[in-house]
């Protein structure tokens, strides 16, 4: 059986690079040859034993790669296509998915159906820090990489960017809204960009790191608030009150 290299969780404090069989795929799946991936903070929690996963599991949930093999029922993609797969990989056909809540997806286990959430790579199934990964329900979970974009340019899309953007979506941001985003780490910055793309016309961000506040301006923030220098609540009220007066 063909083998591949994979980063495997052995015990708290120990992840090893070892060999595993290249995954088989079913009719709805795709085998992805990983070209780029990264280490999430969650992987560090797994390594430290702070988040429990099964021994022998391949870690990682942020894949960029090329379709090596497609299941017989998959349409809309072709072998050799560059793709990403989200960290959240719902089936697309469960009750939760059909109601628009893919992150609450479930699965059939030996104890029956169980709500396990959409995060499966490196959590309940083998993940992406390997030479190959099987993406189940490929049509629901693959996205083609546009021609002209590098792996590095799309590397944040499977998890960090999509998490920030979904915050703006779940927050119901609409055209003309005023939005405040607290904390401008990678996910917060993506939430700021997401709020701008959703149509917010006034975006206020709160942080204390000057470099992050500067980047937030480039991603769509209209006002930056350093909570170590001013009371953020007072400053937000002042900004929104002034904006209200301007609009009258």
Point out the domain boundary residue: 136, 155, 174.
155
List, in sequence order, every residue forming a beta bridge with 112; answer none if it has no partner: 109
Q: What is the Cα–Cα distance from 17 to 5, expressed in whole angstroms? A: 7
Residues 218 and 148 in one domain: no
**Cβ neighbours for 96, distance < 8 A, ≥ 6 positions apart:** 90, 102, 103, 104, 105, 106, 115
Domain match, 103 and 12 both: yes
Pairing of strands 30-36, 132-135: antiparallel
Q: Are residues 146 and 169 in the same domain?
A: no
pLDDT at position 201 is 94
Residues 144 and 207 in one domain: no
Q: Are residues 226 and 125 in the same domain?
A: no
Question: What is the model's pLDDT at position 103?
Answer: 74
Residues 109, 214 within the same domain: no
Ordered mean pLDDT values, 10 residues apiece, the chain (248 residues): 95 97 97 96 95 96 98 97 94 83 71 72 95 96 96 95 92 96 96 97 97 97 97 94 64
Work out the number of other CB atoms within 10 angstroms of the CB of residue 142: 24
In a shared domain, residues 136 and 174:
no
CATH of the domain at 199: 3.40.50.720
pLDDT of residue 188: 97
Question: Where residue 69 sits, what CATH number does that domain have?
Answer: 3.90.180.10
Q: How many domains does the chain divide into?
A: 2
The residue among 128, 155, 182 that closes a domain is 155
- The boundaries of the domain holding residue 219 are 160-247
Dist. CA 107–CA 162, nearest whole Å: 23
**Which residue in the block uniquely carries the two structure tokens 């870690």?**
59
Question: Given 130, 155, 180, which residue is the final one in a domain?
Answer: 155
> What pLDDT, on a 0 to 100 scale, did the predictor assign at position 98?
85
């Amino acid at each position: 059986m063909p083998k591949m290299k994979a980063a495997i969780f052995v015990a708290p404090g120990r992840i090893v690079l070892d060999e595993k069989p290249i995954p088989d795929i079913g009719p709805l799946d795709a085998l992805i040859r990983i070209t780029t991936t990264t280490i999430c903070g969650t992987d560090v929690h797994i390594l430290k034993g702070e988040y429990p996963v099964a021994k022998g599991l391949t870690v990682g949930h942020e894949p960029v790669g090329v379709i090596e093999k497609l299941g017989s029922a998959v349409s809309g993609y072709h072998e050799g296509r560059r793709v990403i797969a989200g960290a959240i990989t719902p089936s697309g056909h469960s009750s939760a998915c059909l109601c628009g809540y893919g992150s609450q997806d479930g699965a059939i286990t030996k104890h029956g159906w169980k709500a396990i959430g959409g995060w499966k790579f490196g959590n309940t199934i083998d993940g992406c820090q390997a030479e190959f990964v099987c993406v189940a329900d490929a049509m629901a979970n693959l996205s083609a990489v546009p021609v002209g974009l590098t792996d590095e340019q799309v590397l944040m899309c499977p998890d960090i960017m999509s998490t920030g953007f979904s915050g703006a979506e779940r927050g119901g941001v609409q055209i003309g809204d005023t939005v405040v985003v607290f904390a401008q780490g990678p996910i917060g910055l993506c939430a700021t960009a997401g709020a701008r793309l959703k149509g917010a016309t006034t975006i206020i961000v709160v942080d204390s790191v000057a470099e992050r506040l500067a980047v937030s301006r480039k991603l769509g923030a209209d006002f930056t608030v350093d909570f170590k220098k001013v009371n953020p609540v007072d400053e937000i009220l002042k900004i929104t009150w002034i904006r209200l007066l301007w609009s009258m």
